[in-house]
Amino acid sequence: MSALQLLSAAWPFCGGSFMVLESREVIIAARFQSNASTVRDQLLAQRGERSIAATVTLACDTAATYRLPPLKGASTIANAATTNHGLRRLLRYHQTAWIEYYHGGRSDPSSWFIDLYKVRDFLKKFYGSEQAAESELAIAHPDWSFFGGILNNNDLRHAEIAGLVPSVPREDVDHLYGLALTWTARHLRKLGLPVLDDLCRDSA
């Protein structure tokens, strides 16, 4: 993953919202100078008119801002991920799952739950078992079971092969993402990485 991709994947855990990276194709054309202003002035002059501009200074209050500078914490996490293959994978699973479900223009309608399942599966393998992951990350057993039940009961792991997209209620999907965010944040903290305290609390 590039540095910017790592930063975007770490961003939500450090006080920022999700940072979605999108590519754009830019056609490079020959340099030219617009004559729009000149033509506009000439047309106005023909009617006996002219363009008038004014400037004004207004007071501005900030209604909301970041609780903490996201870049500082995200840089620390991204830097750790450059040498930690498992951490890179976990961040990628979490980021991709969120983008594929909540962000417009999904490239693969089934990929969100495939990557979301990989978040839970990664944590189970990292800590050695489901019970160990629950214990190490202070995960309530009903939450762990709910997460696995949604994925397993709908055969979401095999959706890539079957090509079918099961219908999961939006409130259940939101809860799944809330749990994945919390568990990933707790894992990052276990690694000694900076994350917001609120993200490590139990999801509603």
pLDDT tens digits for range 78-124: 999 999 999 999 999 999 888 888 876 556 666 777 888 899 999 99
pLDDT at 183 over 70: yes
Q: Which of 123-127, 148-152, 177-181 has the lowest mean pLDDT?
A: 148-152
**Which domain range does residue 7 map to?**
3-19+68-200
Q: Which comes out higher in pLDDT, residue 24 or 134?
A: 134
Radius of gyration of the CA atoms of the chain, in A: 24
Distances (CA, A) of 204 to 41, 139, 177: 61, 13, 11
Task: Indicate whether 33 belongs to any domain.
Answer: no
Task: Indicate whether 97 belongs to any domain.
Answer: yes
Task: Indicate whether 11 belongs to any domain.
Answer: yes
pLDDT at 127 over 80: yes
Query: Which tens digit of pLDDT belongs to each residue from 150-164?
Result: 877 766 656 555 556
In angstroms, rounded to a whole number, what is the distance separating the alpha carbons of residues 116 and 127? 18
Domain count, the chain: 1
Mean pLDDT of the chain: 82
Task: Indicate whether 24 belongs to any domain.
Answer: no
Class of residue 42 by CB neighbours under 10 A (exposed 0-12, middle 13-18, buried 19+): exposed
Task: Indicate whether 121 belongs to any domain.
Answer: yes
- What pLDDT does residue 61 have? 65
- What pLDDT does residue 85 have? 93
- What pLDDT does residue 33 have? 75
CB count, 10 Å around CB of 153?
10
In angstroms, rounded to a whole number, what is the distance separating the alpha carbons of residues 135 and 127? 9
Band of pLDDT at residue 199, cut at 50, 70 and 90: confident
pLDDT at 2 over 90: no
Task: Indicate whether 102 belongs to any domain.
Answer: yes
Task: Indicate whether 32 belongs to any domain.
Answer: no
Query: Which tens digit of pLDDT belongs to each residue from 47-88?
Result: 888 888 888 887 766 555 666 678 888 899 999 999 999 999
Task: Indicate whether 143 belongs to any domain.
Answer: yes
CB count, 10 Å around CB of 48?
6
- What pLDDT does residue 181 have? 93
